[in-house]
């Protein structure tokens, strides 16, 4: 075998190995099941970070395990999550995934009928994949407890795990008062964080809470600032 032939054979083998390597990164399953898997995992992490009792085994479920349970086209009713708060078991939350279609008022009314007979809830999270009509939004306001609405695309990635996101911690009321007194400030003088901010929504932060935000970087170093939720 001459040198050129040997090089061609080596290139061929290398290409085959490269193909197998890249193939490991290709997901052969449905994008639908992958989207549900990622968003559901983020919701479970979000509930845990809010203080709700969530099993680690649920969060650590692999994509393959998720598909073995729910298949390539998951039934959204089986994706529901219910949990109680660790510090107060009476604080119960329910998470419901909505279908691919537009969420209309009849869907909200039907949902209200379904959960009326269940144990009392403190909060409901709806994961929608499409537009929700104005009439449906008005129907949501009729619930006797807090209802949060997230687009499924906003939950595919956990915003708190982004490498550029600073660390957030909610101050206790005592810590808040000490901070204001130390710097001779009023609450309204603190920098603001809107309730629609992604971090505020993730932690379900209420108006008036003060959040300690810790930044760290190679250039800027570590520093802390505070924001009041509005």
Looking at domain 31-157, its CATH class is alpha beta
Res. 23 pLDDT band, cuts 50 70 90: very low
**What is the Cα 183 distance to its own chain's centre?**
34
Residue 149, CA atoms < 13 Å, CB-side half-sphere: 15
Tokens 């994961």, residue located: 127
pLDDT of residue 220: 67
Question: According to the CATH classification, is domain 160-229 in 3.90.940.20?
Answer: yes
pLDDT of residue 94: 96
Q: What are the structural domain ranges in the chain?
A: 31-157, 160-229
Span 194-229, pLDDT tens digits:
999 999 999 999 999 999 999 887 776 788 999 999
Does pTM surpass 0.85? Answer: no
Q: Which one-letter DSSP state was computed for residue 51?
A: T
Q: Residue 126 above 50 pLDDT?
A: yes
> In whole angstroms, what is the distance from residue 24 CA to residue 228 CA?
46
How many degrees, rounded to 5, is the angle at CA 6 between CA 3 and CA 9?
155
User: Which residues touch 128 (CB under 8 Å, ≥6 apart)?
Assistant: 98, 103, 149, 150, 151, 152
Please give the average per-residue pLDDT across 106-120, as a whole number: 82
Span between the terminal Cα atoms of the chain, in Å: 76
pLDDT of residue 166: 87
């Amino acid at each position: 075998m001459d040198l050129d032939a040997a090089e061609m054979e080596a290139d061929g083998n290398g290409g085959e190995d490269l193909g197998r390597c890249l193939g490991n990164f290709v997901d052969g399953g449905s994008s639908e099941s992958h989207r549900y898997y990622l968003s559901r995992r983020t919701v479970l992490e979000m509930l845990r970070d809010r203080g709700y009792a969530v099993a680690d085994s649920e969060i650590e479920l692999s994509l393959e395990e998720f598909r073995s349970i729910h298949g390539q086209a998951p039934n959204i009713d089986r994706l529901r999550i219910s949990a109680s708060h660790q510090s107060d078991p009476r604080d119960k939350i329910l998470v419901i995934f909505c279908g691919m279609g537009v969420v209309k008022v009849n869907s909200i009314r039907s949902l209200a009928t379904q959960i009326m007979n269940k144990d009392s809830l403190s909060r409901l999270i709806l994961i929608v994949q499409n537009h929700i009509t104005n009439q449906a939004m008005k129907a949501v306001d009729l619930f006797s407890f807090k209802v949060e609405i997230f687009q499924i695309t906003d939950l595919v990635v956990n915003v708190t795990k982004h490498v550029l996101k600073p660390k957030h911690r909610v101050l206790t009321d005592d810590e808040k008062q000490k901070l204001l007194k130390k710097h001779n400030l009023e609450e309204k003088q603190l920098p603001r964080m809107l309730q629609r901010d992604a971090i505020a929504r993730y932690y379900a932060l209420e108006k008036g809470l003060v959040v300690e935000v810790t930044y760290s970087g190679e250039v800027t170093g570590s520093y802390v600032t505070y924001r009041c939720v509005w």
